[in-house]
Amino acid sequence: MEEAGRDKDEAVLVRVEDFSAAKDAANVTTKPTRRYPLASWIAILALATLVGVYIFSLSLKQNGMLFGLKQTSMIEKEREKPCHRPSIPDTEIPYVHYPTPDTYSRKECACTPVRFFAILSMQRSGSGWFETLLNSHENISSNGEIFSVKERRSNITSITKTLDKLYNLDWLSSAAKNECTAAVGLKWMLNQGLMKHHQEVVEYFNRRGVSAIFLLRRNLLQRYVSILANDHDRSTKQLNGTHKAHVHHRGQADVLAQYKPTISTKSLIAELKRSDKLAADALVNFKTIRNIVLYYEDVVSNRTKLTDVLDFLKLPNIKLSSRHVKIHTKRLRDHIDNWIDVYNTLNGTQYESFLNGRR
Ligand SMILES: *[C@@H]1O[C@H](CO)[C@@H](O)[C@H](O)[C@H]1NC(C)=O
Ligand SMILES: *[C@@H]1O[C@H](CO)[C@@H](O)[C@H](O)[C@H]1NC(C)=O
Ligand SMILES: *[C@@H]1O[C@H](CO)[C@@H](O)[C@H](O)[C@H]1NC(C)=O
Ligand SMILES: *[C@@H]1O[C@H](CO)[C@@H](O)[C@H](O)[C@H]1NC(C)=O
Ligand SMILES: *[C@@H]1O[C@H](CO)[C@@H](O)[C@H](O)[C@H]1NC(C)=O
């Protein structure tokens, strides 16, 4: 947290001045006390010590966990430029930011309001595709799965530090824009510390005005097929010896889609229940955050859903595009090796409808 560090130095400087002022004051008062006995000297010494201890404790608090959060939010407010435009309604103010990055100057974009967002999703739910769609907008910068790196999510301090850097526009990834960024965010999987630290993250999102874009999957059986196929490719590296989670060519997609997993019918229901519950819990845990809930299947079949996202981010509506090519495009039965077993396992259960998945 470079910004916090710098402000701390300033604060210490100010206090050093305070201290010399206090010393001057002490000097002034010492003159008339020359005639007084030792007791006065001890009193003055005690006073000076107290002032010293006070200054020391203040600088401790600056670094301390206790006041860390409060201080940061105050710092953020101070650092943000006063660019408030009359066109922004009062209810929107908490979600509008004017970051001042440490690594570059926003120059003519300095007064372009920036919205903070986080795509909350699960592996193999179309979030890679969705993120490339968002990044095709000149004003959106979505910086990928930042929390796939374990150290960044090992504790809430690391998470906060990482998010601060991202939302200060100091996260330099390929998603960085030459244009005026008007929305900055990341892709965050529920199992990447998000559910584990949900209370603190909710607090952070609310405090900093971060909006959540849920991207979930309706058909969890299709998602499971995608997970198994991706795991298979991770070990077999079917495309010229490299593993690809996403592809840009139909030919490559067809190679990956050739693999038909055999699904263990013993654990299938438990597996579906587990991911169903995870998604449901996430919606409950993050319900106090300003959010939009999208389902992958709906976005695939109805691109107007993307307009909803741009409206949600208060960005101009343009046509978004992605080079990603869908891997599994046939009927679900054609992508599962032991289809009959799977059918019989799910027929008559709450997950029966998953069997009719088309894509
Ligand atoms: C948090 O995690 C980071 C990175 O793994 C580590 O360096 C740091 O010591 C941890 N802090 C606390 C308070 O546990
Ligand atoms: C998007 O970026 C362009 C080019 O930098 C800029 O002129 C425009 O104001 C930005 N739009 C928004 C909504 O910020
Ligand atoms: C493998 O590499 C060759 C040559 O670089 C290329 O022509 C071919 O399309 C690649 N195959 C796949 C499946 O990506
Ligand atoms: C497509 O999405 C839009 C925006 O959410 C919605 O209003 C519309 O009803 C949807 N169309 C269909 C056919 O579902
Ligand atoms: C699915 O289950 C119902 C009863 O629950 C049964 O009548 C039907 O034949 C089953 N479908 C298949 C294809 O086995």
Residue 124 Cα to ligand 4 midpoint, Å, equals 23
Distances (CA, A) of 255 to 233, 246, 258, 282: 10, 12, 5, 34
The best mutation among 237, 239, 240 to test binding of ligand 3, ranked by most ligand atoms within 8 Å of the C-beta, falls on 240
Nearest listed ligand to the Cα of residue 177: 2
Contact 315, 139 (CB under 8 A): yes
Residues having CB within 6 Å of any atom of ligand 2: 112, 138-139, 179-180, 182, 315-316
Residue 295 Cα to ligand 4 midpoint, Å, equals 12
The best mutation among 333, 339, 345, 347 to test binding of ligand 5, ranked by most ligand atoms within 8 Å of the C-beta, falls on 347
Q: Categorize the per-residue pLDDT at 68 as very low, low, confident or very high, splitting at 50, 70 and 90.
A: very low
What is the per-residue burial (b if ≥16 Cβ within 10 Å, else e) of 6-25?
Answer: ebbeeeeeebeeeeeebeee
Residue 305 Cα to ligand 4 midpoint, Å, equals 7
The candidate with the shortest Cα–Cα distance to 164, out of 233, 100, 238, is 100
Nearest listed ligand to the Cα of residue 158: 1
Of ligand 4's atoms, which has the minimum distance to the CA of residue 307?
A: 4
Contact 80, 98 (CB under 8 A): yes
Residue nearest to atom 9 of ligand 5 (CA): 347
Residue nearest to atom 5 of ligand 1 (CA): 151
Of ligand 2's atoms, which has the minimum distance to the CA of residue 182?
A: 14
What is the per-residue burial (b if ≥16 Cβ within 10 Å, else e) of 63-74?
Answer: eeeeebeebbee
> What is the torsional sign of CA 200, 84, 144, 216?
positive
The fold for domain 90-356 equals: Rossmann fold (3.40.50)
Would you state the pLDDT for residue 142? Answer: 97
Residue 244: CB atoms within 10 Å: 18
Per residue in 34-53, pLDDT (tens digit) is 556 677 777 777 777 776 66
Would you state the pLDDT for residue 66? Answer: 46
Q: Are strands 210-216 and 183-189 parallel, antiparallel or unpaired?
A: unpaired
Contact 233, 244 (CB under 8 A): yes
The better pLDDT of the pair 244, 79 is held by: 244
Per residue in 89-115, pLDDT (tens digit) is 888 889 999 999 999 888 889 989 999
Per residue in 178-222, pLDDT (tens digit) is 789 999 999 999 999 999 999 999 999 999 999 999 999 999 999
Would you state the pLDDT for residue 31? Answer: 41
Nearest listed ligand to the Cα of residue 348: 5
- Consecutive H or E run containing 141: strand 140-142
**pTM recorded for the entire structure:** 0.78
Q: What are the structural domain ranges in the chain?
A: 90-356
Would you state the pLDDT for residue 255? Answer: 86
Distances (CA, A) of 232 to 117, 135, 186: 32, 29, 27
Return the SS3 of 242.
strand
The values of phi and psi at residue 228, to 5°, are -65, -40
- C-alpha 220, offset from chain centre: 24
Return the SS3 of 83.
coil
Q: State the chain's mean pLDDT as an integer.
A: 83
Residue 227 and residue 245: Cα distance in Å, rounded? 10
Would you state the pLDDT for residue 157? Answer: 97
